[in-house]
Structures are given as structure tokens and as C-alpha cells.
Amino acid sequence: SSTSRRLAAESIASMEAPFAHGIRVSAVQGIASDGLVSAIGKTPLIKLKQLSADTGCTILGKAEFQNPGGSVKDRAALFCVLDAEARGQLKPGGTVVEGTAGNTGIGLAHVCRSKGYKLVIYMPNTQSQGKIDLLRLLGADVRPVPAVPFDDPQNYNHQAKRHAEGLENAVWTNQFDNIANRQAHIETTGPEIWAQTEGKLDAFTCATGTGGTLAGMTRYLKTKSDGRVKCYLADPPGSVLHSYIQSGGKLQDRSGGSITEGIGQGRVTDNLRPDIDLLDGSVHIPDEKSIEMVYRCLDEEGLYLGASSSLNVVAAKEVAEKLGKGHTVVTILCDGAYRYADRLFSRKWLEQKNLLGAIPERLQKYIVL
Ligand code: PMP
């Protein structure tokens, strides 16, 4: 037994001995005692080394793709469910209903399985089979319905609402106008970024789908820094928010579109409304820049990002350039490229979208599909 003690001591010593590279990875978290839901958040804040060198600033990306459901929306999904529980709208055995084919649905599916709730998802029947399959295999009852405009009562959002209203012990999470969504970022993403940077950040930038991330982060950072940290919206084509901010509050009709899934907005949601006036400005990012940054982040940083993340990174770079050398700019890496690879890395798709020319020659080797 003295031999085994000696062996144990030696192996622990060798495990703790630093490797020659000297890089220290962060300490592991404790046990996620509430199961999967307590593994949501606490994501790394990654320095984008090449972009930081290029701009003379520190550009940091919050690695939201590391959440269990693979996106920033896990946080909002969890907070919508926790809020419904706290209000007594959801009790054991209850049902969550939402209208979405996107990341929120996936986040809700994980949260509902982990907490034992049923999940019903309404979505337009124009969504890909892949999305339907994924939600179904995560246990959701998926209901594809005709893709009709919002003012039609058969629109998937209204159907989701009616479904929940017609059931006992059920809640429509309503991510766009449920402010539990932004609360997730006020209570988790914001404090995490503040702690990770020790409050030493100068600006934050991110795009908007529901507006939960941008609004929650802006509220938190403005409060915590006494207004010092500058916050900017990053907006894709087809969204009305950039012109809304630039024009001092004029809402125009929505026109055009973007390859960046999950972002772009046609109205000021309830999540955005209380905080949109706190913003310092907005940056419009064309698809050419977003797609190029998908490839650059892969090539230069080893990051495999979806297009909303890379749009955010472009915005962070532009804000860094505007502020000048020595500043720290933080943004959100919303999700990975996994669910979009058949488009983002397909030559045919890039040609169809007229975006092949946006990929620099040296990066075209990544167009493998
Ligand atoms: N990126 C992706 C990939 C998303 O799915 C979403 C949510 N629709 C967002 C960004 C935007 O986040 P939020 O809803 O908090 O504005």
C-alpha cells in the first residue's frame, strides 16, 4: 500500500505539472446539481487573436455555442421556463408551447426533457426536414402549419398561443415579447462577461432576433458601468432596427433579407423596448462581410461559427476600429456552423446567393461542399 500511495502521489504530481507551453486553462466548474439546466451558461470568453492584433484592440467573443443546445438561446429558454414555474403557470407534468423552428426550440427541448415537461413546437411548414427531425428526436411534438403572415390567425405564433390557452398547466413561452428572455442576460450573460473582463471592457456589440441578448446585456452593462460601456446594435440587411436607430425612432417597412439566420427584426419587441434608447448606435453589416468573417474565423481562430456570430464579430471589429487602439470590445458567438454547413460551405449555395466573390482566394479551400 505504500507503493500505491507513492504511485498516486507521483501521478497526481505529474498531472499537475505544467506542460512546456505554460498555458493555463480555466478551472473546472463544480457539479451541475440540477442536471443539464445547471450546465447552461458559464461559457468561455475567447480572445480573437488575429482580429485583436489587426485592430490593436482586444476583441473577445462569448462562446455561446458551448451551451448544451449549442446556442445562446438556451439561456432564454431556461429563463422563460423558470419564470413560468415561479408564476405558477407551469407545474410538474406541464406543457411548454412555442412557435419557432430555431435555436429557442432546441434550447426548450433540452430544458423540457431535463425538467420533465412536454414541449409542443409550431413552425411554418417551409422549414427544413432537418430542423423538424432534430426537434422531434429531442422529444418535441412538432406541428408544421401553413406559412401564412402574422396577421393571419393561422400563423404559427397564434396557433402556439391558442394551444397553450386551451390546455391546463401549459405555458406559451412567447420569446419575442416575454421579458424573462432579456432577464436571462441581465442575470447570467452580463455578470459572466463583467467577471471575465473584471469590468475592463469599453464596448459591446450584438445582433438582434428577439432582442433579448442585446437588451439584457445593454441594460446590465450600462447599469454596472454607470453608462461608460458603449453598446451597439449589429444589424443585417432586411432588418428595420438599424434605420430605426439612425433615424431616431422611425419604423419603416421591412424589405430585403439576409443569409444570417436567427437575426433581423421588423419591429421593436417588448424585450427591446425598455433598453433601445440606451444604445450608443448601430452598425449595418452586409452579408458579404458576414460570410467572409465565417471563413476568417475558421482559418485564423479555429472557430466554426454561424453567420450571426460572424456578423457580430465584424461589428466588434468595426467598433474597435472606430474607438481606436487599446480598447476592449466584447461580442456574442451565438452558435456554431454545424446546422448551416450545407449552405455556408457550399459552392452552389454561395453562387446562388451571389456571395462567392466575398470569399478571398486564400480562403476558398474551405468551400468543400
Ligand atoms: N443568432 C442566432 C443563431 C439565433 O438563433 C438568435 C435567436 N433567434 C440570435 C442570434 C438572436 O438572439 P436574440 O433572440 O437574443 O436577439
Cell numbers of 318, please? 468595426
pLDDT band at 15 (very low <50, low <70, confident <90, very high): low
Q: Is the pLDDT of residue 359 over 70?
A: yes
Q: Is the pLDDT of residue 16 over 70?
A: no
Q: What is the pLDDT of residues 51-107, one digit of tens each?
A: 999 999 999 999 999 999 999 999 999 999 999 999 999 999 999 999 998 999 999
Q: Is 102 a pocket residue for ligand 1 (Cβ < 6 Å)?
A: yes
The position carrying cell 426537434 is: 135
Q: State the pTM of this model.
A: 0.95
List, by residue number, the catalytic residues. Answer: 73
Q: Is 264 a pocket residue for ligand 1 (Cβ < 6 Å)?
A: no
- Distance from the alpha carbon of residue 73 to the mean position of ligand 1, in angstroms: 7
Please tell me the residue having the least CA distance from ligand 1 atom 12: 209
Q: Is 308 a pocket residue for ligand 1 (Cβ < 6 Å)?
A: yes
Q: Is 335 a pocket residue for ligand 1 (Cβ < 6 Å)?
A: yes
- Distance from the alpha carbon of residue 263 to the mean position of ligand 1, in angstroms: 6
Q: Is 74 a pocket residue for ligand 1 (Cβ < 6 Å)?
A: no
Please tell me the residue having the least CA distance from ligand 1 atom 3: 262
Distances (CA, A) of 60 to 28, 155, 258, 336, 363: 21, 39, 25, 16, 23
Q: Is 208 a pocket residue for ligand 1 (Cβ < 6 Å)?
A: yes
CA distance 132 to 89: 27
- Distance from the alpha carbon of residue 254 to the mean position of ligand 1, in angstroms: 18
Cell numbers of 283, please? 452598425
pLDDT band at 30 (very low <50, low <70, confident <90, very high): confident
pLDDT band at 191 (very low <50, low <70, confident <90, very high): very high
Identify the pLDDT of residue 12.
66
Cβ contact 350:356 at 8 Å: yes
Please tell me the residue having the least CA distance from ligand 1 atom 8: 262
Please tell me the residue having the least CA distance from ligand 1 atom 6: 262
Q: Which atom of ligand 1 is nearest to the CA of 211?
A: 16
- Distance from the alpha carbon of residue 208 to the mean position of ligand 1, in angstroms: 6
